[in-house]
Amino acid sequence: MTEEIIKRAQEWLDPSFDAETRQAVQQLLKGDPRELEDSFYKNLEFGTGGLRGIMGAGTNRMNRYTVGMATQGLADYVKKACPAPYRAAISYDCRNASPDFARITAEVLAANDFTVYLSDTLRPTPELSFAVRQLGCNIGVMITASHNPKEYNGYKVYWNDGAQVVAPHDKNIINEVLGISSPSQVRFTGGAGRIETLGAEMDELYLSAILSLLKLSPDAIKKQKDLKMVYTPLHGTGVHLVPEALRRMGFCNLYHVPAQDVNDGNFPTVVSPNPEEPEALRMAVEKAAEVGACLVMATDPDADRVGVAVRNDANQIQLLNGNQTAALLTWYLLMKWKENGQLKGREYIVKTIVTSDLLRVMALDYGVECYEVLTGFKYIAQVVREQEGEKTFIGGGEESFGYNVGEFVRDKDAVVACALIAEAAAWAAEQGRTLFHLLTDLYVRYGFFKESLMSRTMKGKDGMEQMKALMNRYRMEPPRQLLGSPVVLVHDYLKSETVDMVSDLRYTIQLPKSDVIQFVCMDNTVVTIRPSGTEPKIKYYFGVRDVLEKAEDLHKTETQLDRKIEALKALF
C-alpha cells in the first residue's frame, strides 16, 4: 500500500467529517489493508451509469461526502453550461441510505441556486426521466444502484432531455467533480426555501403519458382481462405504479408476492435483486405455479428493467432472457403499427450492439429503420433526441432486460414494458397462443437467434489492471477463427475501426469511442467483449443462429445452439 493512500485516509479523520465517518476510517486504518486500499486508492468515478459503488467511508465509496462533492461539481458544470434559472429533479429507490443521499443532493443543489423538485418518497427511475422534461429541468439525479447487491448505491445523472448524460457533458462533469478535492469546497447548506416536494401529481402525469402509447389491442385486453399474471417489484419502486398501470389498462387478475412488496434495501428474500438472475424470480414463479398464471414479471429496485417468465409448450414456466423479451415486444409493436396503418415510412427502432440481431432483421422485414448504438440506454435516448421531430421512435431495447416505448421517457422503463408485455400476452391469448408460441413463430420466420452472457468478476485495483491487460491482448491478437468458422470482421470501438479480415480493408465506426471489441464470424457467430461500466466485471456476449424449419424442431435446434455457445465460452 502506498503512503499516498494512507495519507488520503488520514485526511478523513479531520473534525470536518462526522463522527461516524471518522470512526469507520479509524477501523479501516487498523483493520484490513486491502479494504483500506480499495476504499481510498481512487475517487469514485462516473461510468456508463454515473456514480456507482459500495457504501461506506472513503473516496472510492458512496457516502454523504462523495455524493456532496459529485453534486457540487455537477452544479458548477450546469452553471457554466446553461443559463439561469436552474432547476433539478431528484428521486431515489429503496436502497439503504437512498433517502439521505437524495436529501444531500437536493440541499447542495439548492445551496447552489437551483430550484429542486425532490420526490416525497421512492419512485421509479423512468418517472424521474419523465419529470425532468415535464418540469423543464436542467438536470435530474436518481439515487439508485439498479440491480447491484445491497452493499451498493449509485447516482444517475440526467440531462435536460431526460436521458442520462453523454459526451461532452459526461466528461465535462467529471472534470468539474475532479476540481472538488475536499468536502470543504461543497456548499452543503444555504438553500433554504429552494426545495419543493414532488408527489402523486407527477405519478398521474407519468402514468397517463405512458399508457397513451399502449392499448394497441383494446378488444383483446377487454376479452382477456382475467388473464392470470404474477408481478413482483423485488422490494423496489415498481410496487405501486406497475400494478396501477395494469389496472388502468383493464387487467384485473394480478397476483403479488407479498413478502417482496415490502420496500427493503436489504433485499431479504433474494440473493441479488437482479431480474437477469433466475433466483430473483423464484418466488414469483412459485406463485405462478400455485395459481396457474401464464405470465410472470419482476422489476429491479428502480423499476427500469423487467424479467419475464412465460408458459412454454410443455405448460411449464420458462424464463425469457432480455433478447427474447425485446424481440417479442419489438415484433408486437411492428405488427400492430402495420396493422393499424401507423407505419408511414419514417419510423425506427434502436438496439445496442450486443442485443440480438433478430431485432434488426425484423425491422428490415417491416420496412422500419434500425439504429445500432453502444451498450447503455443513454445511447438509445441520444438517437431519440437527435431524430425528434424528424422521425418516429417506435421502441428500443437492450439485452440486459431494458426496454422503452415512445418518447415521453428517455431511459429504459419497466413500467411501460410490463404494460406492453401484458398487452401482448392478452393478444396472444386471444389467438389461442402464448408468448412462448409467438417467440417460436419468430424463430421459424426469421431464424433461431440464441444469445448468452458470461461475466468474470475482477474486483479492486488488481481487477481493473487485469481487465485492461485482457482487452489489450484481444486487440493485439484477435482470433482468426472460432469453432472452425473464420473471423471475417473485427469491430474495435475504442479505435473506432472495423477491420475486414478477408480483404484487410478498414472502415471507420461512426459511434463514440468505447472499450469494446467484437468478432463476427462467417457463420454469423458474434462475440463481443467489454468491461462493465457499472460493475467490477468483464463481460462476454455470445450470439449464434441457425435455421428453424418448423416449430417441432425447436428443442433440437436450441440444444445444438446451446452446445455451440458453451464451446465458445470455453474458448474465452
Rounded CA gap, 517 and 48, in Å? 17
Provide the pLDDT for residue 1. 60
Burial of 278 (0-12, 13-18, 19+ CB in 10 A): exposed
Provide the pLDDT for residue 46. 66
Q: Which of 98, 119, 129, 146 is catalytic?
A: 146
Provide the pLDDT for residue 86. 98
Nearest CA-CA partner of 302 in 236, 206, 257, 243: 236
Q: Tell me the three state secondary structure of residue 235.
A: coil
Residue 152 · residue 62 · CB < 8 Å: yes
Angstrom distances, CA of residue 295 to CA of 221, 288, 332, 349: 15, 7, 16, 25
Strands (E), 159-272: 195-198, 229-232, 254-256
Angstrom distances, CA of residue 162 to CA of 25, 117, 384: 37, 14, 11
Ranked by mean pLDDT, the top range of 38-52, 169-183, 309-323, 448-462 is 309-323
Provide the pLDDT for residue 50. 73
Rounded CA gap, 388 and 204, in Å? 24
Here the cell at position 501 is 479480415
Q: How confident is the model at residue 205 (pLDDT cuts 50, 70, 90)?
A: very high
310 conformational bin, left if phi > 0, alpha if psi -120 to 50, beta if neither: beta
Q: Is the peptide bond before 168 cis (omega within 30 degrees of 0)?
A: yes
* Average pLDDT across the chain, whole number: 95
Provide the pLDDT for residue 555. 96
User: Quick count: other Cβ atoms within 10 Å of Cβ 67?
Assistant: 24
| For residues 200-224, average pLDDT | 96
| pLDDT, tens digit, 9 for 90 and up, residues 42-58 | 888 766 567 889 999 99
Rounded CA gap, 523 and 544, in Å? 8
| For residues 149-161, average pLDDT | 95
524 conformational bin, left if phi > 0, alpha if psi -120 to 50, beta if neither: left
Rounded CA gap, 426 and 505, in Å? 49
| pLDDT, tens digit, 9 for 90 and up, residues 99-130 | 999 999 999 999 999 999 999 999 999 999 99
Provide the pLDDT for residue 48. 55
| pLDDT, tens digit, 9 for 90 and up, residues 434-460 | 999 999 999 999 999 999 999 999 888
Q: How confident is the model at residue 549 (pLDDT cuts 50, 70, 90)?
A: very high
Clarify whether 485 is annotated catalytic: no
Provide the pLDDT for residue 374. 95
Angstrom distances, CA of residue 479 to CA of 487, 519, 569: 7, 8, 14
